[in-house]
Amino acid sequence: MRFERIRKEYPNGVVACESISFEIQPGTVHAIIGENGAGKSTLMKVLYGMEQPSSGQILFDGQAVTIPSPQSAIDHGIGMVHQAFMTVGTFTITQNITLGAEPQRRGFVDSRRAVAEVDELARRFQLDIDPLARAQDVSVGMLQRAEILKALYRGARILILDEPTAVLTPQETIELFRALRGFAASGRTVIFISHKLREVLEIADEITVMRGGHLVGQTTPEATDEVALAGLMVGRSIAIADRHPAAAAGEVALEVAGLSCLNDLERPACTEVDLEVRAGEIVGIVGVEGNGQTELVEVIAGLRAPTGGEIHLHGDVITQASVRSRRAAGLHHIPEDRMKNGVALPESIEDNLIVDRYTGSTVRRHGLLSPKRIGRFAEELISRFGVRAADSKVPAGSLSGGNIQKLIVARELGDQPLVLLASQPTRGVDIGAMEFIYAELREARDAGCAVLLVSADLGEALTLSDRIAVIRNGRVVARFDDVAAVTEEDLGRHMLGAAESKEPA
């Protein structure tokens, strides 16, 4: 398979890809890395038929092909596993996998055969799933395996994986990699898109690096290392893995005592969680997704009602306080799912930046909102936090994912908060934005902010945190005060439960 001088210019004049040419060998795992906006997503959309190239072509076995739609891509044997899973929660795993391609008998869906086929496929590729479980009841890891099987079920020979490990535990990642190697060994091709350089070095046979719409390098894991790759990606050298521990922690700023809450299905999500975050320290919470960390943060932020326990903010009980009064008391929040509740995508950057201060004098005049003051306030934050936007009046939805996250960080850290809840602060953002967000979090901490960090990225938790707590089944199961002495494997064992950790991995 070969990309031949692919160029993609969007109608608004943005050139996302410029003359990209390279080859992907069958039977290999080919990683494509680059910052957000480097053009790798666009390139994949072109390959998957979601976008048409402005010029250039795609060749299979030397034959130029046009791919007008995802359906045509599937017909060509291309499968894509998106970052956000496209599953129907109330359908079973089998139904989700066979959706739209169900085996039929006399015009009806032959569900028994569907289950058998899916089961056989899962066994063949060593992707462990429960064909009869409902999608809403299973783990993210299984959903992802189902998505992969969905592509394979449709006969994919080329599998595109967009940031597949973002939601996985280290152990699940190992299993995924084993499966990916199996595909490659069977002559299939895997295109692996990631920000995590270490994983890329581990899994890829070949690595293509993109920056600013251009192809800036091709290499193999043997010929490079993390630092060199990061440098190639951003065009200068950076170091994000360095730890910068807090100088000294101060008073307890946020205290959670015996906190319990339910999840959306009314089942217990957190049970008697005790936590303390001091001014000037970052406390990391790690755990497999769905173990209560999301709900815990929501309860502290005031978005979910607790069923027991208390929350203290600088000694004051805020357990029943409204979101607004919590914000007024200095409790800020970078939400886990920024597209869900972190921004209003159709609204302007300005409107998105003032949500916690539209009643305040910085943006008002004569008792009304002042466009001039709002504009000045927004422009200042935009330039201070390096949000790439042409104008503060453009809709937030026109920004890239990384810039939307910067927008949120700018809003939440723009004035020094006392306590910051940072949930997955760098999920899906590029390495440049990640470096920037790390620096901002540390700067806030050093200025005396108490930061509660929830991250699915153990490397991130270990890099940033001064103390770490592991959460499993809604309970804190382990605490580490000396983060320097902890490894990802230690955390992983506690995340999965001590009983499992006795088994050899």
Partner 1 sequence: MTATESAAVAPPVPGDDREAARARVHRQRRSDLVAAFVAMIVTIVIALAIGFVILLIVGKDAVAAYEWLLTGPFSRTTRIGRVLIDTTTLTILGLSVAIPFRAGLMSLGAEGQLYMGALTAAVVGLAFPLPPGLGILVPALAAMVAGAIVGFVPGWMKAQFGANELVSSLMLNTVLVRIYGYILTEYLTEEGSTSVASAYLPNESLIPTFTQLTGVSFDQANLAVVLVPILAVAVWLILQRTSLGYEVRMTGSNRLFAAYGGISSRRVIILSFIISGAIAGIAGAHLVQGVNGRALLTLSVGTGFTGIMIAILARNNPIVIPFAAFFYSYLKIGGDVMEQELSVGTEIVNVILALIVLLVTSQFVMSLVKRRRLSRLEAKGQP
Decide: 192 and 221 in contact? Cβ < 8 Å. no
Footprint on residues 114-133 left by partner 1 (CB under 8 A): none
Residue 300 binds partner 1, judged by CB under 8 A: no
Q: How many Å apart are CA 100 and CA 106, to the nearest integer? A: 16
Decide: 240 and 290 in contact? Cβ < 8 Å. no
Going from the C-alpha of 248 to that of each of 318, 411, 445, 484, the distances in angstroms are 26, 26, 10, 16
Least spacing, CB of residue 56 vs partner 1, in Å: 13
Count Cβ atoms below 10 Å from residue 367 Cβ, excluding itself: 6
Q: By CB under 8 A, name the one of 120, 137, 316, 443 that touches partner 1.
A: 443
Q: By CB under 8 A, name the one of 164, 280, 306, 335 that touches partner 1.
A: 335
Q: How many Å apart are CA 327 and CA 333, to the nearest integer? A: 9
Q: By CB under 8 A, name the one of 48, 153, 377, 385 that touches partner 1.
A: 385
Interacting span for partner 1 (CB under 8 A) from 10-18, 61-69, 153-161, 467-475: 10-18
Interacting span for partner 1 (CB under 8 A) from 201-209, 222-230, 258-266, 354-362: 354-362
DSSP state of 223: G
Q: Which two tokens stand for residue 111?
A: 């569900």
- The smaller minimum CB distance to partner 1, of residues 21 and 359, is found at 359
Least spacing, CB of residue 341 vs partner 1, in Å: 4
Question: Site mask, partner 1, residues 387-426, x = CB under 8 A?
Answer: xxxxx-xx--------x--x--------------------
Interacting span for partner 1 (CB under 8 A) from 76-84, 279-287, 288-296, 318-326: 318-326
| Element spanning 94, H or E | helix 93-98
Q: By CB under 8 A, name the one of 112, 123, 124, 324 that touches partner 1.
A: 324
Footprint on residues 213-252 left by partner 1 (CB under 8 A): 234, 236
Q: Which two tokens stand for residue 393?
A: 């009046």
Q: How many Å apart are CA 352 and CA 66, to the nearest integer? A: 40
Residue 18 binds partner 1, judged by CB under 8 A: no
Residue 447 binds partner 1, judged by CB under 8 A: no
Characterize the bridge pairing of strands 282-286 and 268-278.
unpaired
- The smaller minimum CB distance to partner 1, of residues 258 and 346, is found at 346
- The smaller minimum CB distance to partner 1, of residues 334 and 470, is found at 334
Interacting span for partner 1 (CB under 8 A) from 17-25, 126-134, 149-157, 384-392: 384-392
Question: Site mask, partner 1, residues 34-73, x = CB under 8 A?
Answer: --------------------x-------------------
Count Cβ atoms below 10 Å from residue 378 Cβ, excluding itself: 26
3-state SS assignment for residue 399: coil
Going from the C-alpha of 235 to that of each of 211, 374, 406, the distances in angstroms are 8, 35, 20
- End-to-end, the C-alpha distance of the chain in Å comes to 36
Q: How many Å apart are CA 348 and CA 133, to the nearest integer? A: 42
Characterize the bridge pairing of strands 306-313 and 364-365.
unpaired
Q: Which residues here bind partner 1, judged by CB under 8 A?
A: 9, 11-13, 54, 234, 236, 301, 303, 322-324, 326-327, 333, 335, 340-347, 351-352, 354-356, 358-359, 368-369, 383-391, 393-394, 403, 406, 432-433, 435-436, 439, 443
